[in-house]
Amino acid sequence: MKSMGERRIVMLPGPTSVDPAVLRAMSRQIEPHSHPAFIDKYKNVLEKLRKLIRTDGQVFAFAGSGTFSQEVGVANFVEPGDKVLCLVNGFFSGRFVDMVKRRGGIPKVLEVPFGEGFTAEMVRKALKGAGFKAVTATHVETSSGVVNPIDEIGEVVREEGALFIVDTVASLGGMEVRQDEWGINVNCACTQKCLGAPPGVSIVSLDKEAMEVLRKRETPASTFYGDLKGWLPVIEDPYNNYRSTHPVSLIYALEEALNQIFAEGLKKRYRRHKIIAEAFRKAMKAIGLKILAKPGYESSTVTAVLYPEKCSIDDVEFRKEVERRKILIAYGYGPLRGKSFRVGHMGSVTANDMLSTISAIEAALKKFGYKFRYGAGVTAAQKVLEKLR
């Protein structure tokens, strides 16, 4: 059994490490969710999220996960018979297809190979005159480490008059998200990745256009708990309305995590994520490993790395070997399960965390007999990380 004081560096693409101050905030005595003291905190959290997401619309936050926020986004805006264009470039973007079907919608899949992203022109061709009500996409596809140009795609979706439903689960708080400017009508996120808070809070934000669509909807959403129209009175006047008990302790934690994000400064935070991601990619290339994401589509928050072809490496044993050095990394997804691993560099991850991770990966590769210049990865990363000084 691991001791409470034993520290492991969590380099997963979620859940991520949680700062001690965030944990302390979560451990405070619980106030009733209907008490003015809690409601004031809740409203403060919504306002900070609105500022982070860059929207003048409405933010909702309730108990749930990133999956639930995706589902809420679909359930409130897709009705039976609605045609939806689903941009699929990995596991998480692919789940939108099933969610649309379950609501009676008609999904059309526009898919690119695993490790690739979309262009605005691809989306334009698929949308042209096809009468789609909505388009779904992920900003960062966690399974592949690919970031899609949501700003460019959003412009096309807006021109074609469709609603744009976007999963920013693996980007919000680690990469810039500008909901209103980018034409994101429905933004789906959660707390346990770049925000650096514990799992358990779903975040859904609607721009003004989506709010208008929501208010005009006549049929109830296919979920009671996630019915945003039902939540609206609670969000607009939480002192006098009730729908369900809020995850009080998690809201305390989220408030502290958001305080830390704004204390660091968004520009500085996004730059830190970008440089640490660049350092990791340079390190992997320096030791001869390939990055799954195609050039120009690399995320600042998660990277998928292919195992070397000329060396037999068991994925489970490799990750165990890395964990022996107190570093947690993730398995690969989809068609590359067992042939790749993923490293999350999001939230509170530091340059030292990344150097320790690269060192552990090098040591594990060496143990499996992979031939490379030992230490080359760490050296390459250090050169990039100098930018943070």
Domain membership of residue 370 (yes or no) is yes
Domain ranges, residue 271: 9-13+265-388
Task: Give the per-residue pLDDT at 3.
Answer: 44
Which amino acid type is present at position 213? V
Structure tokens that stand for 192 in this block: 């346990």
Domain membership of residue 1 (yes or no) is no
Task: Give the per-residue pLDDT at 325.
Answer: 97
Task: Give the per-residue pLDDT at 102.
Answer: 98
The whole-model pTM stands at 0.96
DSSP β-bridge partners for residue 49: none
Q: Please give the tally of structural domains in the chain.
A: 2
Domain membership of residue 2 (yes or no) is no
Domain membership of residue 244 (yes or no) is yes
Q: Is 182 in the same domain as 271?
A: no
Q: Is 87 in the same domain as 202?
A: yes
Q: Is 249 in the same domain as 307?
A: no
Contacts of 378-381 spanning 24+ positions with Cβ under 8 A: 378/283, 379/286, 380/279, 380/282, 380/283, 380/285, 380/286, 381/279, 381/280, 381/282, 381/283, 381/354, 381/355
Q: Is 304 in the same domain as 224?
A: no
Total length of the chain: 389
Q: Is 316 in the same domain as 247?
A: no
Task: Give the per-residue pLDDT at 209.
Answer: 98
Q: Is 218 in the same domain as 338?
A: no
Domain membership of residue 4 (yes or no) is no
Ordered per-residue pLDDT tens for the chain, 389 residues = 344 446 799 999 999 999 999 999 999 999 988 899 999 999 999 999 999 999 999 999 999 999 999 999 999 999 999 999 999 999 999 999 999 999 999 999 999 999 999 999 999 999 998 999 999 999 999 999 999 999 999 999 999 999 999 999 999 999 999 999 999 999 999 999 999 999 999 999 999 999 999 999 999 999 999 999 999 999 889 888 899 999 999 999 999 999 999 999 999 999 999 999 999 999 999 999 999 999 999 999 999 999 999 889 999 999 999 999 999 999 999 889 999 999 999 999 999 999 999 999 999 999 999 999 999 999 999 999 999 98
